[in-house]
Structure 1
C-alpha cells in the first residue's frame, strides 16, 4: 500500500455513456486509501458536473470531442492529451477501450494499463502490431477471464502475466441502499403483487438474444405459476419484431415491454428470477445488480456470465430455448430453504469477488503490473 505521497494516476475513458461512467468510478475506487490521486479524463461527451461527481476522482477533465472528430489519426486529440499528461506528475495511465489506449501510448511516455471491456479488440492486425510496438510499457486487463483469454489468443507471444483479469464490480452497499423493496419496485413497474415475474434488462439487440428468451418463456409457461409474466426492460431496433414474435408464440398478454426505465437496477427486487440470454456477454453488470437484489439468476453459458453465476445460478446452452424453459420451471419450483441458500451463496460471492474491496485487493496483487506496490 502506498504512502500519502504516492502520486497521481491518469485515467482515460472514451466516454461516460451506458456502463462506462461506473467503470470510471470503479477504477478510481482502486486507489482509495493508497495516497494516489486520480485524474479522470473523458475523450467524448459534454462537460457535466453530475458526471464529474459520480467519478469519485480528485479531478475530472472533459475533452468534449464528438465521435466523428476522433476518427482516423486523432492528431488533435493526441496533442491535447499530451498537454494534460505533461501538466501533472502522473505515475501511470489507465485507459479504457482501444482508442484511449492508442492515444495514451502515442501521447505520453507513461506506463499504460489498457482495460478491455469487449471481445475482439485485437482481431485486427493493426491493433496487434500497435500493442507489440508498445509492449514494454503496456499492460492489458480483461473484465473477465473470457475477455482475457481472447486477448491472450490474439497476442500469443506476450507473457501471460502481462494480460490479466480484473472483474467489473459494484459498490455493493451503495447499490443495495438504492434498490427499492419488492412492493415499491412492483408499484414502480406497474406489476401485480401476486405475479411471478421473470426479468430481463438490456438493449433489444441480436447480441442479447431476447428471441430465445421469448421462446423459452413460451415453452415453460404451462408449467409456471398461474400469474407468470416476462418483463423486458430496454429499447432497441428489435422491439417491433420481438413484439410480433410474442404474438406468434401466443404469449403477448404475458410479456411486458417496458422500454427504457430510469435507474432500472433499483427495481430488480420486483423480479422472482432474472434471465440473461446474451450471446458472448463480456461480463454482464446486470448480473451483479441482480445478485445485490437477492434475485436468482439464469444465464447463457458463454462469455463472462458463467464466471459470475456458475456456482449459484443456472446456466443453459446459448440459443437453447428448451433448456431455458427447464431452468425457468426449476426456478419456479425452488423450495424456500433452497432459495435461501442460493441467495446467501450469491451474496457471499458478490462481496468476495465482485465488490470494490475485492477488486482493490486483486489489483494490488497482479503480477508484473508496473511494480506499483
Structure 2
C-alpha cells in the first residue's frame, strides 16, 4: 500500500475516541513507525483535548476534532469537511482508522489508502456496510484484533481478497504495564481485600456479554472446595450490577463476592488476584488477559472468540457452563505450578512491527 520514499511523509491515525482501551490502541499503532522515516499524526474524532491523552498516544502530533457522539451520527458531513482540511495540510502516505465511523469519514473525506482496524464482531453484518466496504475495496484494507474478528469480516466480505483482511493482535507494553502495577499487598489494601484470602478476579462491564452470571454461579459451586475465606472480586460497573448482587444473595455467597465498582486504571491492582477469570461471550480479544499475565497472575477464559488465541487449551472452559468453570477454579487453585505467567511473544510490539511491515508492503 505504501512504498519507500525519499520525501518526509506522515501516517494519519484516526480514532473514534480515547475512552477505555482505545488510547492504548492508538499507542500500539503509533509505535509501529518508531525509528522509521514516517511521522504519526493521531486524531481523535470525539473527546475533549487532554494532555494525558497526548502523552499516552505516543505520536508526533495529536489533534482533537472534539465532536460529541451525537454530532457524529448520520452523514457526519462536518467531520468529513474537517478531515478533508487536515488531509490537505501535509503529505500523508495513508490513514489507519479505528472502528467504522472513522473508516467511513476517512474514505469519504480523502483519496488516501485506508487501513481499517476493527475491535469487535459484527461490524460488517449490515448490508449497507458491506456495500460501502466493497465500493472502496481498491483502497481499503482491514485488520482485526484477533483471528476470530478477522474471520468474521472475511465471512461478511467475500468480495475482498483474503490477504486484504488480516490479523494484528492487540498487545501491551509489558515493561510499562509492570512498572505501574503495585505490589500484591498494596493492591489488596487499595481494593479493600483481605491479605490472606484466595481471590479470583474479574474485570469488565457488568453487561450480558461479559456473562458475570455464569462467573458467580460457577464460583458458588466451587466455593466449598476452595480455601476458607476465598473471594470473587469483580471490578467494573454497568446496568446488571443490582441483578448480579441479587444473584449472590440468592446463592448464599454474598459475603464471598466483592463488587469493586469502576476502578480508575484498574490494571495497576491486578496483583491483588490469585487467579483471573474471563467469562465473556465471544470476546473479540481480551486485553485484560494480557494485563493479568503481565502482573504474573494465572488466567482462565471461556473457549470462544479471541480469548482462545491468548490462553492455552488447559486454561479454557466451555462458555456458559458453570460446572466447567467450577471445575476449572478448583483445579487451578489446587495446582501449585501456576506462579510463573508470561505474556506470549505474539502479543509484543516486536512481533507486531514485523508482521505489520510484512503485510503492508505485500503485493495484493
TM-score by length of 1: 0.94
SS at match of 1:94: strand
Aligned residues: 362
* 1:249 CA drift (Å): 0.4
SS at match of 2:284: coil
* 349, 352, 363: which one aligns with 1:359: 352
Task: Kindly indicate whether the alpha-carbon contact (under 8 Å) linking 2:294 and 2:343 is maintained by their aligned counterparts in 1.
Answer: no
SS at match of 1:173: helix
* 1:5 CA drift (Å): 5.2
**1:9-24, aligned counterparts within 5 Å?**
9-24=11-26
Q: Does 1:319 align with 2:320?
A: yes
SS at match of 1:364: helix
Task: Kindly indicate whether the alpha-carbon contact (under 8 Å) linking 1:2 and 1:36 is maintained by their aligned counterparts in 2.
Answer: no
Residues 239-248 or 44-53, more deviating: 44-53
* 1:182 CA drift (Å): 1.0
* 255, 258, 277: which one aligns with 1:256: 258
* 1:186 CA drift (Å): 1.1
CA distance in 1, matches of 2:5, 2:163: 26
Query: CA offsets per residue over residues 280-312 of structure 1, 9 Å max, x none?
Result: 11011100100101111110111100100125x
Query: CA offsets per residue over residues 90-120 of structure 1, 9 Å max, x none?
Result: 0000000000001000111111000000000
* 1:157 CA drift (Å): 2.1
1:141 aligned residue: 143
CA distance in 2, matches of 1:261, 1:76: 35
* 212, 215, 231: which one aligns with 1:213: 215
Aligned Cα RMSD in Å? 1.6
SS at match of 1:109: coil
CA distance in 1, matches of 2:21, 2:269: 17
1:331 aligned residue: 332
SS at match of 1:115: strand
**1:16-165, aligned counterparts within 5 Å?**
16-165=18-167
CA distance in 1, matches of 2:40, 2:165: 23
Contiguous gaps of at least 5 residues in structure 1: none
TM-score by length of 2: 0.96
CA distance in 1, matches of 2:352, 2:175: 15
User: Using a 3 Å threshold, how does the CA distance of structure 1 residues 16 and 369 change in structure 2: closer, same or farther?
Assistant: farther
User: Using a 3 Å threshold, how does the CA distance of structure 1 residues 348 and 204 change in structure 2: closer, same or farther?
Assistant: closer
**1:300-319, aligned counterparts within 5 Å?**
300-310=302-312, 314-319=315-320
CA distance in 1, matches of 2:187, 2:30: 30
Task: Kindly indicate whether the alpha-carbon contact (under 8 Å) linking 2:290 and 2:343 is maintained by their aligned counterparts in 1.
Answer: no
Task: Kindly indicate whether the alpha-carbon contact (under 8 Å) linking 2:134 and 2:159 is maintained by their aligned counterparts in 1.
Answer: no
CA distance in 2, matches of 1:3, 1:151: 32
Query: CA offsets per residue over residues 322-362 of structure 1, 9 Å max, x none?
Result: 00000000111012xx224xx3xx4151xx11112221111
Moved over 6 A (4+): 1-4
